[in-house]
Amino acid sequence: MSKVIKVLEKMASDASLISKADVSTMLIDTEITERQKLAIEARDLDTLTETIHDLPIIKCIPIVPAEDDDEADSEKETQQEPKVKIKVV
């Protein structure tokens, strides 16, 4: 787990870290970068996020087939279906 996440977890679970002075004192003993400490003190989420390199980059690309493709595929399927003949004797 990231050191920054551990620091944020500690801040969330320690009720005595309400004032900025208490947070600054706690951050002195942490093993995070100065930029991360400043971002936490300033409550700058964007800067803090930029400093964490182990966050995954998630990309989502929706793919919607064209309407013509669906109709052409269904026509091919109907043409390719085998014809079954039944003879009653």
Residue 9: inside a domain, yes or no?
yes
Q: What is the pTM of this model?
A: 0.54
Q: Reply yes or no on whether the pLDDT at 52 is more than 60.
A: yes
Evaluate whether residue 25 is within a structural domain: yes
Q: How confident is the model at residue 87 (pLDDT cuts 50, 70, 90)?
A: low
Task: Please report whether residue 86 resides in a domain.
Answer: no
Q: Cβ distance 10 to 26 under 8 Å?
A: yes
Specify the number of domains making up the chain: 1
In a domain? residue 42:
yes
What band does 38 get if pLDDT is binned at 50, 70 and 90? Answer: very high
Q: Is residue 67 part of a domain?
A: no
Residue 52's contacts (CB-CB under 8 Å, 6 or more residues apart) are 2, 4, 5
Q: 56 lies in a domain?
A: no
* Domain that residue 12 falls in: 3-51
